[in-house]
C-alpha cells in the first residue's frame, strides 16, 4: 500500500494557516508549526481583548462621569441613583458624551438629580 502524505488538501490547510500568520516576524510567518502556534496565541489574545475593550470603555465613561458630577457637587453613585429614581434611563456612554459635548444639558441633569436627592431625604 502506498504511503499517503495528504497531497493538496494538506498543502491547502497549511497555506491557509500561514496566510493567517502574515505580518508575523521571521519564522512565525514562514514555517507551519511556528505559524500555527503564533496564530493560536494571537486568536486567544484577540478573543480576550474583545471582552476587555468593553470593560475599559465602561470604566472610561464612569471616570468621566464621576469627574463631571463632582464639579457639580455630587458623587457618581448619588447621581446615578437619583437618575434611576427620576426614571431617566440614559446609559453611561450617553451621559459621558453629554458631559463633554453638552455641558448645559448635563447641568440640567445634575440639577434634576440634586432635586431628586433633596426630595428623597426630606
Pick the CATH number of 8-121 from 3.90.1150.10, 1.10.1900.20, 1.10.10.10, 3.40.47.10: 1.10.1900.20
At 92, list the grid cell. Answer: 453611561
Longest dimension (CA), the chain: 92
Kindly list the domain boundaries of the chain, sorted by start residue.
8-121
At 94, list the grid cell. Answer: 450617553
At 25, list the grid cell. Answer: 516576524
Position 83 scores a pLDDT of: 94
Based on C-alpha coordinates, what's the Rg of the chain? 27
Quick one: which H or E segment has residue 99?
Answer: helix 92-101
Residue tagged 433633596 (cell numbers): 118
At 104, list the grid cell. Answer: 448645559
User: Residue-wise pLDDT tens for the chain (122 aa)?
Assistant: 778 777 898 999 999 999 999 999 999 999 999 999 999 999 999 999 999 999 999 999 999 999 999 999 999 999 999 999 999 999 999 999 999 999 999 999 999 999 998 887 77
pTM reported for the whole predicted model: 0.79
At 56, list the grid cell. Answer: 475599559
Amino acid at each position: 500500500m502506498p504511503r499517503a502524505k495528504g497531497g493538496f488538501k494538506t498543502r491547502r490547510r497549511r497555506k491557509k494557516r500561514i496566510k493567517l500568520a502574515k505580518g508575523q516576524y521571521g519564522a512565525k510567518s514562514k514555517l507551519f508549526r511556528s505559524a500555527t502556534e503564533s496564530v493560536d496565541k494571537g486568536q486567544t489574545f484577540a478573543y480576550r481583548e474583545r471582552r476587555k475593550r468593553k470593560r475599559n470603555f465602561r470604566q472610561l465613561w464612569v471616570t468621566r462621569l464621576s469627574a463631571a458630577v463632582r464639579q457639580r457637587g455630587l458623587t457618581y453613585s448619588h447621581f446615578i441613583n437619583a437618575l434611576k429614581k427620576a426614571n431617566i434611563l440614559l446609559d453611561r456612554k450617553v451621559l459621558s458624551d453629554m458631559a463633554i459635548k453638552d455641558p448645559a444639558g448635563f447641568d440640567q441633569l445634575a440639577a434634576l438629580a440634586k432635586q431628586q436627592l433633596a426630595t428623597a431625604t426630606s
